[in-house]
Structure 1
Amino acid sequence: MLQNGASQRAVSDQFGVPRGTIGWWAYEDRRRRGIVIARPCHCPRCKGVDFDRSAYSYLLGLYLGDGHIVSKPKQHHLSIYCCDSWPGLIDEAERAMRTVMPGYSTSRVQKKGCTEVKSYTSHWTCMFPQHGPGRKHERAIVLEDWQEEIVEEHPWGLIRGLIHSDGCRVTNWTVRTIGGERKRYEYPRYFFTNKSDDIRQLLGQTLDRVGVEWTTLARGSDPFNISVARKESVALMDLHVGAKY
C-alpha cells in the first residue's frame, strides 16, 4: 500500500497498527531496496546562504551563557534554559532559534523552575563550533573569524544575550552623608556572572567596543563577576539591553 502511494496514516488506520511502527517498516523496506532519502538541509553555514546576523549574535550570547548542544547519533538539538520568572526571555529565545534556523522545529520542555527551549537539528554544531565535551568553563571558548565579524556588526546582540542568560539588572543601595544627614542612596547596576575566563573576556571586550565602562568583582578569590555601575554606562545598557521580563 505504501509503495502504491498510500499515506502512513491511512495504512495505520486501516490495520490498527501504530504510525510509528508503519514508519519503521517503511524505512526498513526502503533500506532493503537500497533507497536513500536525504533529509533537506536548512543550515545557512552548510548552504552558504545569508541568515539573520543580529538574531544570531543574541542567540550566541544565550548559548554561551545558559545553552548547550546535544549531538549524538540519533539525537541532535540546541537547548537554552530560561527561568520561568521571565516569560519574555523564553519567547525571545525561541524566536531567535526560529529566525536563525527557520527550517527546523522547536519545542519547550517544562523543568523545575525553568523552561528548556529546544531546536532540533544536528546543524547547530555548524552554527556554534564552540560545542565540545565537558563544561564550557573547562575548555577554551574562542570565536571563529565569521563569528567575530558578526559580533563586530551587532555587539549589543551578544551583550544582551549574555546578560539575559547569566546576568541581571539590580538596584544597589548605599548610605551617604548629605548636608550632615545620612541618607539611603539607591542606584541601578548590571551584573554578569560566569566561571569561564574566555566568556567573561569576550563580554569585556564587547563592552569596551560600545563604550561601556565595567569592572571585575571577585567572589572570594574568584573573579567571576563583571559589574557595570557608572551612571552613563548603565544608561547605555538600559537603552540597548534592559532588565529581563
Structure 2
Amino acid sequence: MRSVFPGNSVCRVRRKGCHEVKLSSRHLWCLFPQHGSGKKHERPIVLEPWQEAIVHAHPWEFVRGLIHSDGCRITNWTTRVIAGERKRYEYPRYFFTNASDDIRKLFTDTCDALGIEWTHCTRNGNPYNISVAKKTHVALLDAHIGPKY
C-alpha cells in the first residue's frame, strides 16, 4: 500500500489470524468506484471493465472473497425415513447472503461461469440468501474456497 500511495498514511494492526491494513486517500475512489455514500444495497454496484477483466481472469479468487466476506459453509441436516425408521441426514452447504441485488448477481453470474449450481433461499420473502448444496458443487467450492479465518 505504501508503494502505491507513498504520500499517504498507512498503518497495519496485527490481529489474531489476520492483518488489518488502514489507508486514508482521496484516490481510493479511483480504485473502488463502487464505494459511495449510503447503503450499498440502495445504489448500483457495477464492475468497471478493468474489474470485470480481473474477475474473468480470477473467478475462484472472486468467489472466495465473496464467501469469506458475506458467506459461510455449514452442515445442514434433515430427517428421512429409511427402512421404516426416521434417521438424521447431514450434508455440507454453502450460503452467500447479501441485501444488494447487484452483489448477489455478481456472485451467481460467477458461479454460473464456473459451473456451480445454486438456488435462492428466501427468508421472509427476501431473496438475500444463495445456497449451494449439491455434493459435487460443494466439493468444488471446498477445493477452491478454503476456511474463513
TM range (shorter): 0.7 to 0.9
Work out whether residues 171 and 187 of structure 1, in 8 Å CA contact, stay in contact via their aligned partners in 2.
yes
CA distance in 2, matches of 1:134, 1:232: 39
Question: Which among 50, 60, 64 is matched to residue 156 of structure 1?
Answer: 60
After superposition, where does 1:81-120 map in structure 2 within 5 Å? 105-108=10-13, 117-120=21-24
Does residue 167 in structure 1 map to residue 71 in structure 2?
Answer: yes
After superposition, where does 1:10-25 map in structure 2 within 5 Å? none
The higher radius of gyration belongs to: 1
Give the corresponding residue for 1:146: 50
Does residue 188 in structure 1 map to residue 96 in structure 2?
Answer: no
Deviation at 1:210, TM superposition (A): 0.7
CA distance in 2, matches of 1:139, 1:116: 27
- SS for the counterpart of 2:81 is strand
Does residue 238 in structure 1 map to residue 136 in structure 2?
Answer: no
Specify whether residues 138 and 108 from structure 1 end up closer, same or farther in structure 2 by C-alpha distance, changes over 3 A only. farther
- Which ranges of structure 1 fall in alignment gaps of 5 or more residues? 1-39, 44-100
Specify whether residues 126 and 166 from structure 1 end up closer, same or farther in structure 2 by C-alpha distance, changes over 3 A only. same
Q: Which structure carries more helix by proportion?
A: 1
Structure 1 vs Structure 2 CA RMSD = 2.4
Deviation at 1:135, TM superposition (A): 1.1
Q: Give the letter for the 1:42 counterpart.
A: V
Q: Give the letter for the 2:4 counterpart.
A: H
Give the corresponding residue for 1:200: 104
TM-score (norm 1): 0.54
- Which ranges of structure 2 fall in alignment gaps of 5 or more residues? none
Q: Give the letter for the 2:38 counterpart.
A: G
Work out whether residues 169 and 242 of structure 1, in 8 Å CA contact, stay in contact via their aligned partners in 2.
no
- SS for the counterpart of 2:139 is helix
- SS for the counterpart of 2:63 is helix
Identity percentage of aligned residues:
60
CA distance in 1, matches of 2:58, 2:11: 24
Deviation at 1:209, TM superposition (A): 0.7
Does residue 42 in structure 1 map to residue 4 in structure 2?
Answer: yes
Q: Which structure carries more strand by proportion?
A: 2
CA distance in 2, matches of 1:224, 1:202: 13
Aligned residues: 144
TM-score (norm 2): 0.87
